[in-house]
Structure 1
Amino acid sequence: MSDTIAVPALGDALPDIPLTDGSGGTTRMIDAIGEHGAVVFFMRASTCPVCRAHVRELQRMSDAGLLRGARAVIVTPGGGEEAASVARRTTLRVFASGEHHRDVGLGRFLTLQHSGTFVVDGSGRVLAQRTSALPTASFSRREILRALG
């Protein structure tokens, strides 16, 4: 795993990493995003209670129509089993990144897996991002809504 944190800057493309769903199917990040963009939340772990709370908030935002046509995409480290575990608790699109969290600047640093939220347009260009080693600081409802403006 990477010991450096190089998060895509505003205007950069979110890396088109491979993703696995809860049934073992695979896709690419750009296909998960869709043509109207997405709010992509990278969990610290599929079992992280703070990350699960962020998933519930993103679910509420999506259900209320606050995402303005953007998809909500959840990405957990690990494989299909981890994706399935999270997917059982939400109707949002859930995938696992394997070891590819590091490819979006969310590697392990000082043994802590970073988590983060990216708002991207339909081409995958980053409109807003928030990342942190502490999951409480990796999600902001206000920033998401402002980016989707």
Structure 2
Amino acid sequence: MGLRTYVLKKSTKSSLEHWNRDLEAIENRMEKTLKENKVDIYYGEEKFLNKNEFQVGEKVIHGEYIIIATGTRPSSSEEISLDGKKIITHKEAIDLDYDLKSIIILGGNVEGVEFGAFLGEMGIDVTIIEKEDTIL
């Protein structure tokens, strides 16, 4: 089991403002780069029609190959259930009251490490608990 603790001090309000500004800039830059490289981007509800057709909204997209890269879904156990208040996912963590003093993050995956580093920079005591031998 790996265990990492981050303790860095910075202004909470300043860090949060930089985080939001940087995140928006990265998203805009990524979308621009994709479009410049002739990558089509679709947003919306989707479903497979068959092995070579995928529907997003009203648009049907054809492809010889389709790669599924949707990210991860948070999970819980019988012993630890998500309540959205004290036991949360990365989605609720975005809206946290960043006046907290410490936090435990279960899972050293991308989301866990990103939030751990960010919260550590804000001066919050962060402990990441990972069941594997390494994080990420």
TM over 0.5: no
Report the structure, 1 or 2, having the larger strand content: 1
Question: Normalized against structure 2, the TM-score is what?
Answer: 0.23
Structure number with higher relative contact order (C-alpha < 8 Å, ≥ 6 residues apart): 2
Question: Normalized against structure 1, the TM-score is what?
Answer: 0.22
